[in-house]
Amino acid sequence: MNKTKLVIWLIILGLIGLAVYQNQEHFLGSSQSLRLNLGLLPEYRSPELPLVVFYVAFFVFGLLVDFGFALPDKLRKRRALKQLSTVADERENQLNALRVEVARLKGEPLPGDPPESSFTSSTQTR
């Protein structure tokens, strides 16, 4: 699955690179300036930059916003997984304790102990 995703992303990035290369005059040749006027502060004008800079800047901004929205859910899932793992470990320990208790009551060898063979047994039968 990881190799498939890698191949798909390489194809997508290759197509984007091809589009930028074939349209260099649009991405690298033309420059733009952005302005921002909020009314409270004086108007801000960015320096004249190629369009590719703005495309990359807004793409990175979008990635950061997406990461910011996904982070709380990821942390919540990590916390829930840790709690469930702790509960599973506790139940496994309880289960092992019950198995040992049942084995003692039945007089069977304890779980986890190696079975006795005729060579190591204290009583030998013939």
- Start-to-end Cα distance in the chain: 60
- What phi and psi values does residue 39 have, to the nearest 5 degrees? 90, -35
pTM above 0.75? no
pLDDT value of position 117: 62
How do the domains of the chain map onto residue ranges? 2-81
* DSSP for 31-96, written as a single string: EE--EE--SSS--EEPPPEEHHHHHHHHHHHHHHHHHHHHHHHHHHHHHHHHHHHHHHHHHHHHHH
Residue-wise pLDDT tens digits, 15-36 = 988 988 888 888 888 888 888 8
User: What pLDDT, in 10s, does the model give residues 84-101?
Assistant: 999 999 999 999 999 888
Say if CB 39 and CB 21 are below 8 A apart.
no
What tokens appear for 27 in the block? 């991405």
Query: What proportion of the chain, given as a percentage, has pLDDT over 70?
Result: 88
Residue 56: pLDDT above 80? yes
